[in-house]
Copies of this chain bind each other. A is one copy, B any other.
Amino acid sequence: MPSPQRKTPSVHDLPVDPRVEALVNEVIGRVADKWTMILIEVLIEHGELRFTRLGELAGGISQKMLTQTLRQMERDGLVIRTIHPVIPPRVEYRLTDLGLSLGEAFCGVWLWAEKNLQAIEDARVAFDIRAKA
């Protein structure tokens, strides 16, 4: 890795419009939401799913949050919501290409988390011991 002193070898290798950066932050804040990530994960693994099934597979999500998160995702162009006009209603959700690409981008974080779980737990234990002193 390049030493931190060198000219910012970060994501931004070019002059960054602060307004663009602010928007990126906002998008990341919204999009990197816990339930959004989990729903994308579930949709990648299972493909198109109905509302209730999606909730079951996500695990521990309330109906309210499920609706709310799905609406946001739909608005952001991450999922497509298909209503089948039957009784009882059948509504299915699937990822758009945009949603899929976000899942792939986020995959790196997921892998990072799995890989470094133990390191984090160790760090916490060490910190808590230090903190007691």
> A: which residues have CB within 8 A of B?
1, 3-6, 8-13, 20, 23-25, 27-29, 31-34, 37-38, 41-48, 56-60, 74-77, 94, 98, 100-102, 104-114, 116-117, 119-124, 126-128
Q: Contacts A10-B44, A34-B28, A128-B75 given: A98-B123 contact, CB under 8 Å?
A: yes
Q: Are B105 and A111 interface neighbours, CB within 8 A?
A: yes
Partner of A107, one of B4, B11, B25, B74: B11
Residues of B within 8 A of A112 (CB): 101-102, 105-106
In addition to A8-B58, A10-B44, 14 A-B residue pairs with Cβ atoms within 8 Å of each other are A3-B60, A8-B57, A11-B38, A11-B42, A11-B57, A11-B58, A11-B107, A23-B121, A24-B113, A31-B120, A32-B109, A75-B123, A106-B108, A108-B109
Residues of B within 8 A of A3 (CB): 47, 59-60
CA distance A106 to B117 in the complex (A): 16
Q: Are B5 and A47 interface neighbours, CB within 8 A?
A: yes
